[in-house]
Amino acid sequence: MKIFVYNYRELDEGEYFSKFAKEFGAEIVYTQYSPRENSVKLAEGSKYISIVTTKIDEALLKQFHDIGVEMISSRTVGYDHIDLEAAKRLGIKVCNGSYPPNTVADYTLMLMLMTARKAGLIIERVKQQNFTTPGLQGRNLSRMTVGIMGTGRVGKAVIKRLAGFGCRILAYSRHEDEEVKQYASYVSLEQLYAECDMISLHMPATKDNYHIIHKESIEQMKDKVIIINTARGSLINIQDLITGVKSGKIGGAGLDVLENEAGVFKKDLRGKVMDNSQIAALQELPNVILTPHVAYYTDEAISNMVFSSVKSCYAEEKGLENPWRIV
């Protein structure tokens, strides 16, 4: 079984690819390049390819199909970067990865606390040897009503952590979870917007919730609301969020994901002109904490993602049940 790995990172993935290749008898061939039109041929001779978040559209899928690729395994939980309908038409299987929800849940709680307590501004001042306190007065999480949009594995894990802080928790989801009801009250989206001091997003990226946070929904929210997003960038119309922060309607934001983050996040752009005006604008806002899509980034999560990528290829090769199979 030969697997061609795109966007290979020796620094954090290397030891795990070596470990699981040996465990499942896989031959791993890799490149640091992304899957693009000019790098498709690198995967020639491999039925399986492993990718990260590079956009895989129909044209690229057709090229992979033409060189004999039968399955794409994404080392990510999300798979909205892959054209699933086109993959289905071409007969290319698609799999995602998995890791424990605690990784993102812990990071989410960190962003909540940092944003509520203005930690970004505090750290910046201290770096400048400015030890004054005006403007640093924060808010107590225990006195907030916190809204969780999406109560899947990560959303539920965040809710359980929040329960220990004594805050009131409201939840919104299409599918209610009985365990969640021990800690939170399910409400309508309108009620969540109207009553929450902080809102945290934990939804997948779908057509139905594209830009679920936008100008009109922000207008329905409480003044000085804090917005946290460790889920998917496409859930927020970022220009509307920037406008809300500048107007004072939004009191702060903790963002680990952004729409159109590709080409910026995971890149070293020191000394270069930032050509993403929205990210540049967010960096100028003192009450916004911006991190480069690292909520998942722990040793446990990287091990799990590489394991699931290799194991899903092994499952398909051996005709076994594949729990990561999407199409």
Q: Which residues are catalytic?
A: 232, 261, 293
Per DSSP bridges, beta strands 185-186 and 198-201 are unpaired
What distance in Å separates the CA atoms of residue 231 and residue 154, rounded to the nearest whole number? 9
What distance in Å separates the CA atoms of residue 162 and residue 109, rounded to the nearest whole number? 8
Residue 199 tokens read as: 């809102």
Q: Print burial letters for 264-297: b (CB count within 10 Å at least 16), e (below 16).
A: bbeeeeeeeeeebebbebbeebebbbbbebebbe
Which has the closest alpha carbon to 7: 41, 53, 44, 43? 53
Residue 179 tokens read as: 């365990």
Residue 146 tokens read as: 């916190």
The Cα angle at residue 228 between residues 75 and 176, in degrees rounded to 5: 75
Contact (CB, 8 A) for 117 and 93: no
Per-residue 3-state assignment (H helix, E strand, C coil) for 171-237: EECCCCCCCHHHCCEECCHHHHHHHCCEEEECCCCCCCCCCCECHHHHHHCCCCEEEEECCCHHHEC
> Helix 102-116 crosses helix 153-163 at what angle (to 10 degrees)?
50
What distance in Å separates the CA atoms of residue 98 and residue 96, rounded to the nearest whole number? 7
What distance in Å separates the CA atoms of residue 322 and residue 327, rounded to the nearest whole number? 11
Fill in the amino acid letter for 133.
T
For 120, the enclosing helix (H) or strand (E) is helix 119-127
